Amino acid sequence: MDDDSPLSALLALLSIPVWLAVPVWVIAVIFKLLSVAVPGRRPDWRLDLLRWSAWMAGWAAVMVYLLGAGSVAFSVHDSSSGADSTPAQECRDDFPPGVLVGQRAAYVPLRFDCVLADGSAHPSSPLYFWANTCVVGLALAAVVLGVCAAMAAGRGAGGTR
């Protein structure tokens, strides 16, 4: 993917409101943890916390993905717009002139790689490795928490504890 596409533009635009949603997510997590810690909580607080945690882990995975995809989209845009834009600045910093022939981007998994003259590709930033790892970890946590919540709800409905 060497040029701007509607998908790149959409992901870049979606990453902007996510920057505003991240602090709201953090505040919501803090308040939920405080509400569990104080006395006078609901009798079904454990099941509620499992369900809520599953949803929040899922939303966190979506937010991390959109932030990473926005970063890839902005890198694609920077490397395909204007004079002296190709190869991308992220790639020029790490490799000498003549060795670098281009760049390659992907949204699944997130990556923006620098392509060298010998055909090999090197990641432009370790950010994408960590973003991909966080997305997978958070999505897995959301699924596990959701399954645990479903099992706990089924156990509670059957009357056997």
Predicted model pTM: 0.86
Q: Give which of 16, 125, 140, 23 is closest to 67, Cα–Cα.
A: 16
Neighbour count for residue 74 (Cβ, 10 Å): 15
User: According to the model, what pLDDT value does residue 4 have?
Assistant: 67
Q: HSE (CB half, 13 Å, CA atoms) of 76?
A: 25
How far is it, in rounded angstroms, from Cα 107 to Cα 21? 21
User: According to the model, what pLDDT value does residue 82 have?
Assistant: 67
Q: What is the pLDDT along the chain (161 residues), one digit of tens a residue?
A: 445 688 888 888 899 999 999 999 999 999 999 988 888 888 888 899 999 999 999 999 999 999 999 999 988 888 877 666 677 777 777 777 778 888 888 999 999 998 888 888 888 888 999 999 999 999 999 999 999 999 998 886 655 44
**Per DSSP, which regions of 6-143 are E strands?**
100-107, 110-116, 121-123
User: According to the model, what pLDDT value does residue 59 have?
Assistant: 97
